[in-house]
Amino acid sequence: MGNFLLGVAVTLLALAVFGYLAFKLFRRGPLTFEIDGFYTHVADGDVGPFIRDVQADVPEAAECRLDDRMSCSIRDAVQCHNQGDLPDCNVLLLSGGGQWGAYGAGLFDTLARRSADELALPGIGVITGISTGSLQALMLMVALDPAQTPDMRRFALDRLIWGYSPERESDVVKHTKLIGVPLYGSAAGTAPLRARIVEALMPGGDERLVSAIGNSSIDGFVGFVEAERGVFRYADIKQLVNSAPDTAAAAQALAAATMASSAMPVFHQQLRIAGSDARPLALYDGGVRRSIFFDRAMAAVDQEVRKQMQGHALPRTADGISQEAYARTYEEAAPTVYVVRNGPTVRRSDDALNTTSGPLKNGQRGYDLLVNESEIGAIAGLRLNNPYGRILLTSADRYDTFPSTVGENFKQDEMFKPAFMARLRDLGRHKAERDEGPWWPLSKIEQL
């Protein structure tokens, strides 16, 4: 009996040692960027007036600041919109969505091909991007810039399409799936994504696209969450480029910001950015906190629009200014806000959940439902701070029902499925070409 117990103990010890060594050997450490001066070009995001009310009893809660680069850019866009001798300067908000970003890529590519000068969406002055939308933002700062040549705009769009056209999933991530999280520390390693972003920006070492981003007439911002404080932050894209010592370093800084915006906890390898101005900080996917810069961008738009309205002679009645007149003047003074939801707004039905169970399948479904509600709430919340302006939305809904023979309209647990991404690119084409176009308006706040 003694020998038996000793044998069991030795076996258990050996298994424990083996498990520890396997964990140390296979576990992914954080993917770390060394970018000097990175945080010099990063600002804390304002939570907005409504969330500040909710957090009113939090000691030392953040105060509202509307004097940073993004708010100044939006102020300039509103002022530009209200000057008759200048083109409209509108705002484009790009949501997260991972491989679903192929929809936005196909959409803008087709809109550009249908235009006379490769300009998919004229009059854009400010672009914000989260997660997959952050990669789109980099390319669209050039593709939507009227100061660039048509050839340069086409080059940017071609790189955008290339980024969302992998030949295999391993071109983007090393996917070991959720079952491997206890061993690897995440469901996917993201070193391939880092290389792919840099190659998208500098194909074969070509510096033209990165330089064009730095010189764009459009201001761009990428959002992410600082893990330590749980604070939503965003980086100024042009400043990251223009402060870098060379183009290669600028591409790395852009890749760092984009990957910070895409680093979904548990699913993706942890992302850290260090530099001479800060110790290494872990940064999370901005979509964890908000899918678009809805609070901050809309608060800035609303503030500037109301300033502009002070110069308008609003029609008055015996009871004062009518709400109808106020709403009409507000709409005229506000730039149009375009919103791209890189994904569907409802989840596909899955009746198999009624007959099967399991922690991974249930966990994935729960995650999908929660993320979907967060995305929809964020977009609907745009109206809270912009009650009467034009807000136009497009989404990847109907991906599984629109007429197409391209790729496949389904996926399982793939993070980046080439055939599914091909179908999404074709969905973007379809919505750009359909009679009613890809955009539809959000309803305005009811006039009470």
**CA gap 105, 421 in Å, rounded:** 10
Tokens for 98? 């991972």
What is the pairing mode between strands 231-236 and 42-44? antiparallel
Which residues touch 264 (CB under 8 Å, ≥6 apart)? Answer: 131, 284, 285, 287, 288
What DSSP string describes 86-131?
Answer: S---EEEEE---GGGHHHHHHHHHHHHHTSSSS-SS-SEEEEEEET
**Are 78 and 335 in contact, with CB atoms under 8 Å apart?**
yes
Which residues touch 173 (CB under 8 Å, ≥6 apart)? Answer: 188, 189, 190, 192, 193, 268, 415, 416
User: Would you call 285 a catalytic residue per the annotation?
Assistant: yes
Which residues touch 69 (CB under 8 Å, ≥6 apart)? Answer: 43, 219, 221, 236, 239
Q: Identify the CA nearest to 284 among candidates 254, 262, 301, 307.
A: 262
**CA gap 306, 310 in Å, rounded:** 7
User: Would you call 131 a catalytic residue per the annotation?
Assistant: yes
Q: Backbone dihedral region of 31: left (phi > 0), alpha (psi from -120 to 50 degrees) or beta?
A: beta
**Are 210 and 201 in contact, with CB atoms under 8 Å apart?**
yes
Catalytic residue among 285, 295, 302, 426: 285
Q: Supply the DSSP symbol for 235.
A: E
Q: Identify the CA nearest to 137 among candidates 127, 147, 145.
A: 127
**CA gap 317, 279 in Å, rounded:** 60
**362 phi, psi to nearest 5 deg:** -65, -40
Catalytic residue among 71, 73, 95, 131: 131
How many residues can be counted in the chain? 448
**Are 87 and 411 in contact, with CB atoms under 8 Å apart?**
no
Helix (H, G, I), strand (E, B) or coil at 269: coil
**Are 103 and 394 in contact, with CB atoms under 8 Å apart?**
no
**CA gap 441, 443 in Å, rounded:** 6
The residues annotated with a catalytic role in the active site are 131, 285
